[in-house]
Amino acid sequence: MLFEYKAKNLKGETVEGTLEAINQEAAVNVLAGRKIIIISLKESGALPIWRRPLHIALLERVNPKDMVFMSRQLSVMVLAGLPLVKALEVLARQTSRPFLKQVINIIAEDVRGGTRFSTALAKYPKIFDDFFVNMVRAGETAGKLDEVLNYLANEQEKSYDLMSKIKGAMIYPAFVIVAVIGVMILMMVFVIPQLTGILEESGVALPLPTLILIKTSEILRDYAIFVIIGAIAAGFGLKAFFKSKSGKATLDSLLLKLPIFGKLFQQVYLVRFSRSLSTLIIGGIPLTSALRIVAGVVSNNVYKNLIMDSVIDVEEGRSISSAFMDQPYVPKMLPHLMAIGEETGRLDEILQKIADFYAREVENILAKLVTLLEPLIIIFLGVVVGGMMASIMLPMYKLAEAF
């Protein structure tokens, strides 16, 4: 954005000019850095098209690895005694992502201008969620920002390591399934049509699997453009549905009911809940506020509703664990341990131990899952390839018998 300003410099002279900044507050900070007194500041209008910043959503995303790196680097510098503004400037120079570099520089300018660090972070909710901002705010209030940043870095590294293991375990089966589907499509489009003519000319009665294979091949070959458009439309339709309130609720419930992966997802959400709540309690966030923040962090409607029920229980003077009792997706151990933590006044420690326990459970499930997936993939390949080969070879045998 372009701003027009009128101000007085140190000599008392009135100066006018234009300034390019992301927003008005950033423009004020820049002018304050020039040691001039602002008389008026207003938006000049849109920049010329060749000077407008190009916003590409993909380039403005900050992945978890970048967040872990940023949190760790910042915590190390602040723990070493470096002033926050200086630490942010150093961090911006070390960051390779242009968008993140720009954001950190703006935050540094805000902090230099007197804005609280947590307030500056809150302007970028897509990068710094409520959990991160509230922990930083708690650290500022208690005068323990260095400790909080170090603790946040540790917790983010644990979460990142856990999610990396899950993604790593899923790469191999996903690759195999995509490869098999690709090979099937190629055979349907290029191989099956060559055999179709021979089989039809022979006059041999074709079995049902072969007829299905031939018809599928004809549809893919003759209506390829419609199949592609339909697949893309279905993909966007499913994406839109699962982003809606009802669709998200359906997907969240379905994930927990999956025969093999359901338990894995349950454990992951429980780790996220326990670790996040423990971190917020240690940071001094009031329990009801911490629960509301964690409800957003968990990102599953089933557990979110349970957590919000526990908020009501706490506000009415009941135990936090009461909402988790006898729930189908909550192990019986969890609410009982939480109740012990409340009674002993060590809920944060109990939650941390629960998080560590379920994190190990996730790793054990992943190890077993990887071992189980190998024979399942072999069986899947055998069924798919064997089914296609049988559909092709059956009429060939009949044709051979006819001669």
Q: Is the pLDDT of residue 68 over 80?
A: yes
Q: What confidence tier does 52 reach under pLDDT thresholds 50, 70, 90?
A: very low
Please tell me the least confidently modeled range out of 150-154, 234-238, 353-357.
150-154
When pLDDT is averaged across residues 268-297 and rounded to a whole number, the result is 86
Q: What confidence tier does 237 reach under pLDDT thresholds 50, 70, 90?
A: very high
pLDDT of residue 60: 60
pLDDT of residue 54: 47
User: Which residue in the block uniquely carries the two structure tokens 């509703």?
Assistant: 305
In angstroms, the CA 131 to CA 135 distance is 6
Q: Is the pLDDT of residue 333 over 80?
A: yes
pLDDT of residue 50: 44
pLDDT of residue 49: 47
Q: What confidence tier does 236 reach under pLDDT thresholds 50, 70, 90?
A: very high
| Domain limits, the chain | 2-51, 64-157, 167-403
Q: What confidence tier does 48 reach under pLDDT thresholds 50, 70, 90?
A: low
pLDDT of residue 184: 82
Say whether domain 167-403 belongs to CATH 1.20.81.30: yes
Residue pair 302/256 in contact (Cβ under 8 Å)? The answer is yes
CB atoms within 10 A of CB 316: 8
In angstroms, the CA 42 to CA 36 distance is 16
**What is the radius of gyration, based on Cα positions, of the chain?**
30
Percent of the chain's residues with pLDDT above 90:
4
Closest CA to 291 of 314, 307, 306: 307
In angstroms, the CA 21 to CA 28 distance is 9
Q: Is the pLDDT of residue 138 over 70?
A: yes
Q: What confidence tier does 232 reach under pLDDT thresholds 50, 70, 90?
A: very high
pLDDT of residue 47: 47
Q: Is the pLDDT of residue 400 over 70?
A: no
Question: Which CATH code fits 64-157?
Answer: 1.20.81.30
pLDDT of residue 282: 84
pLDDT of residue 44: 64
Fold match between domain 64-157 and domain 167-403: yes
Q: What confidence tier does 328 reach under pLDDT thresholds 50, 70, 90?
A: confident
pLDDT of residue 401: 66
Q: What confidence tier does 57 reach under pLDDT thresholds 50, 70, 90?
A: very low
Which residues contact residue 171 at a Cβ distance below 8 angstroms, ignoring those fewer than 6 apart?
A: none
Which of 189-193, 199-203, 287-291 has the highest average model confidence (pLDDT)?
287-291
Q: Which 8-state DSSP code applies to residue 189?
A: I
pLDDT of residue 31: 74
pLDDT of residue 20: 64
Average per-residue pLDDT for the chain: 82
Residue 290 one-letter amino acid: A
What angle, 0 to 180 degrees and rounded to 10, lies between the N-to-C axes of helices 64-79 and 145-186?
160
When pLDDT is averaged across residues 387-394 and rounded to a whole number, the result is 78
Q: What confidence tier does 45 reach under pLDDT thresholds 50, 70, 90?
A: low
Which residues contact residue 136 at a Cβ distance below 8 angstroms, ignoring those fewer than 6 apart?
A: 117, 118, 121, 145, 148, 149, 152
Q: What confidence tier does 196 reach under pLDDT thresholds 50, 70, 90?
A: confident
